Each structure stands twice: as C-alpha cells, then as structure tokens.
Chains A and B, each alone.
Chain A
C-alpha cells in the first residue's frame, strides 16, 4: 500500500473531528452548561416526596389486586356513560364544525380584512391553547354538572382544531376560481358558495370525521371534572375505590377509542 501512497504523504493529517452542530464554541459551551444547569435546578426544585413514592409499591399492589378481575357487574351504568359520551361527541362535532366555518373564513388571510382576521385568529388561538379539561371546569361552574357542559367544552375544542385547519385550507385555495366568479358579477356569498366551498369541502368532511374521533376521546376525559359521559362514571368509580369497575371502564374506553380510530381511518382513506 505504502508504495502507492500519494506524494504529499508527510502532510496528510492523522486527526479528524466531526464538525460540531453549533459552530461557535462559546455559544456551544454556554448552551451545554445552561442545559445542564437547568436540568439540575429543575430536578432539585420540584417538590418530590420520596417517602410517599416509597409507599407507592404497596398501594399499587392493593390497587391492582382490587382491579382484577375487572367488574362488568354494573354494565348498565357503563353503557349509559358510554352512550352519553357518544352523544356529547356527536353534538359537539356537529355544532363545532358548523361554527368553525365562519370562524375559519374570518381567520383566512386572503379573504378577511385585517381586523376580522386578527379576531378570527385570536378565537382559534384561545380555543387551542386551553386544554379541554380547563374549559370543562369553567363550563361546569357556569352551566352546572352534566353533559351540557361537556358539549360546550368539546365545541370549543373542535373549533380550535377544525377552524385552524380549515383556515389554512382556505388560504391555499386556487384564487383563479374566485376571480372567475367575480368576473361574472357574482356577489360575496355566491362567490364563496361556488368558488370556495367546493375547494374546501373534501377537507372539511375529512376534518369532521377526524374531529368526531378526537371528541370521543376527549369526552372520556372531560367527564372526570364533571362534564358528563363515561369520564364521570370513571371518576366516580375511582373516588369510591371501585378499582375493578374502574378497570372495566378503562377497558371500554380503550376499546371504543381503538374501534373509532379504525373506523375514522378507513373513512378518511376513502374520502381523501
């Protein structure tokens, strides 16, 4: 081999370092130190209760031995809870999807005037930022315990997602079709109906199905703070230490979510 080594043999380097991700060494080390300091501080600051943690094992054993076998004795309660969740999800999806349409038009840069655009965006940001459980707890206080608070919560939740995605779709529409409608002298509403709606309809249907699926998931959760549905049943079971019933409910929730995910996936595959 050496017989064929290149002429500048003596000058070839015998060390090599992988170029670092951050080229500036000062920035690199500062960042590394900052990250380490943050981790140390964060772990140190959190009020861990190690004694309680140690007790956890025995309590876990008690809970799990209490949970098996899952009890389907009160299946009436279980079915009622599940059906209520389904109703909440359906109504919230319908209302949420309808309300999303005007909000999406408000929040589309290419169709709405500036002030309206900002209002539309603000509604979406607020709806998206709050976890449904927080929204639920407020609605529960405002309109009382029960499924109505759940429906209102999930309407807000639906708007946060559907209006956002729809607004993005509206911003991507083929503007030529709108101009064509304007050229034949159509007014604002006919233009929207004939030039914009057909372009956003497929997306809207897909989104609705997806949202029905996520609303069903979320409806199981908002119930925990009193907004109706199977979540309320679950929270009650937990509160009364009926772990076998709680496990049965959880199994039903998981099963329902898997089925609904499968169905919505199938439908969307066909439509999209």
Chain B
C-alpha cells in the first residue's frame, strides 16, 4: 500500500510542480495517471523513489516512510520499488543478462557485481522472468541489438528482479508503436495479477489508460482533478483534465479510445 499525503515539489523559487497531492494506491491494482505534459506526472513518480527530492509532504510504502530516509536506508527502500522508463534506460553496451541482473545490484556483494558471478538463484529467477516475457533466448545478446518492445521487456524484467513491492512505470509505452504498446500494457496488467503488485503508470494515451487500468487519476497543474474508475472518465472529466491544452495532444488519446473500446469489448 502506497500512501502519499500533502506532497509538494517546487523547483527553485518557481511555481510548485506538485501542489499538496494526496494519493493512495492499495495492493494489486493498476492505477493510471493521466494529464497533459507538464502536469507533474513524471515528478510525482520520481518523488516516490526519491530520484526527485520532495519539497514537503510524506510518502509511505507498506508502513515505511520513504520521504525521510537517507543514504543506505534510502537505497534499501529503493530496492523494493521497481521502475520502468519511457526510454527503457538500459545500458546498451551490456548484455541483456547484465541489464536484468542490474536490478539485483542493491542486494549483490560488490565482487559479484564486478566479476559478473551472479548467484545461481538470481540467474534462475532471471531466466524464469525472461521466459515469462519471451526474451530468454536473448540473454547473452547486447541490449542495443533488441527491438523497442524487447528492450522494454528487459526493463520490466530488471524491475521485477528487484522483488519489488510496487512498480512505477513512467510512460512505458510512449516510445513504442501501437501494437507493441498494447502488448507491454497487457504484460504489465498480467504481471500485476501474478505478483500481486500495485502498479502506478504515468500514461499519455487515454485509450490505453482506460483499457488496462483499474483506476484513473487525472492531473492538471500539479493537482489531482479526477480520481475514479475508468468508466467514470467521460467527456466532461477529460475536458477538465486537459483544459487549455492543444487539441492534438488530446487527440492521441481520443482517437485510440474508440479503437480500444472495440477491442476490449
């Protein structure tokens, strides 16, 4: 259970990016965060694992207050938060196995990290997960030899290797073509059920958000404007979330929306 209360983030002396956010994500549910670029979605996600330092407010994950941790305690907490990125953020010149095992770096003795002598149970787990997402045969290939969808699967496996208590996904499909996006979203939903994981997904594409999430949170200018199940997201709510943003930015979601409704019906 992730519990965020009164979260504020301000860069320098400017207008806060997050203005006193409250949000709870209970176990085993997929929560999609939607909103125009600049609404603060990405900052929200990065405040949770403290890649971005919150200005004030508290964040708790399963009764551990993340927002007050420092040094090795913070690192220990980060091990339990898996993150998936828009640009996959793999190390291109390392093999798929090394990228996957880098999810274990927080647990691994340094000499094992240097020599690449990973524990047997980690290797087995890596193969199981890679097999599950269909990339096991790439284990010894370099990450930059893979296609976009495959690379994102590596990113997903890396996050799962951490044995996380929550998954954060920052626009996980924005760099992928529609068909692959759908597969990755499908995968995230399935994995959430399999591992009983809460998943918090930032997403641009409203259609995907509605099709694959249990709950939608709409953000605008650092505030939560909407928080309900996908079916409750109607025109009026959309207009409120996206008010004042160019039509084409919304159209991406709008266009796909109908398409996905047909597919998932």
Q: What residues make up the interface of A, taking CB atoms closer than 8 Å to B? A: 1, 4-6, 8-9, 12-19
Contact = CB atoms under 8 A, between A and B. Distances in A.
B8 interface: no
Interface in B114-165: 116, 118, 120-121, 123-124, 126-128, 131-132, 136, 139-140
A184 B121 CA distance: 77
A12 B130 CA distance: 11
Interface string B97-125: 11000000000000000001010110110
Contact of B120 (A1, A14, A17): A14
Nearest to A12: B127
A5 B97 contact: no
B139 A16 contact: yes
Q: Chain B contact residues: over half helix, strand or loop, or mixed?
A: helix
A19 B121 CA distance: 20
B194 A19 contact: no
B95 interface: yes
Interface of B: 95, 97-98, 116, 118, 120-121, 123-124, 126-128, 131-132, 136, 139-140, 194-195
Contacts of B123: 13-16
B123 to A, nearest CB: 5
Contact of A6 (B97, B116, B131): B131
A12 B131 contact: yes
Given A5-B128, A6-B132, A18-B140, 5 more contacts: A12-B128, A14-B127, A16-B126, A16-B140, A18-B97
A19 B95 contact: yes
B127 A13 contact: yes
B186 to A, nearest CB: 15
A16 B95 CA distance: 11
A6 B195 CA distance: 14
Contacts of A19: 95, 140
A19 B116 CA distance: 11
Contact of B95 (A12, A15, A18): A18
Q: Tell me if A's interface is mostly helix, strand, loop or mixed.
A: loop
Contact of A12 (B98, B116, B124, B140): B124
B184 to A, nearest CB: 18
A16 B97 contact: yes
Most B Cβ at <10 Å: residue of A6, A12, A14, A16: A16
A8 B95 CA distance: 23
B124 to A, nearest CB: 4
Contacts of A6: 128, 131-132
Contacts of A8: 131
28 contacts: A1-B128, A1-B194, A1-B195, A4-B132, A4-B195, A5-B128, A6-B131, A6-B132, A9-B128, A12-B124, A12-B127, A12-B128, A12-B131, A12-B136, A13-B124, A14-B124, A14-B127, A15-B123, A16-B97, A16-B118, A16-B123, A16-B139, A17-B116, A18-B95, A18-B97, A18-B98, A19-B95, A19-B140
Contacts of B195: 1, 4
Contacts of A4: 132, 194-195
B156 to A, nearest CB: 14
B154 to A, nearest CB: 15
A18 B120 CA distance: 14
Nearest to A13: B127
Nearest to A6: B131
B125 to A, nearest CB: 8
Contacts of A16: 97, 118, 123, 126, 139-140
Considering residues B118, B121, B131, B132, which has the most beta carbons from chain A within 10 angstroms of its beta carbon? Answer: B131
Closest 8 CB pairs of A and B: A14-B124, A14-B120, A12-B127, A4-B194, A6-B131, A18-B116, A16-B123, A19-B140
A44 to B, nearest CB: 29
Nearest to B98: A18
Contacts of A13: 123-124, 127
Contact of B121 (A5, A9, A14): A14
Nearest to B140: A19
Contacts of B95: 18-19
A180 B97 CA distance: 57
B158 to A, nearest CB: 15
Nearest to A18: B116
A14 B120 CA distance: 5
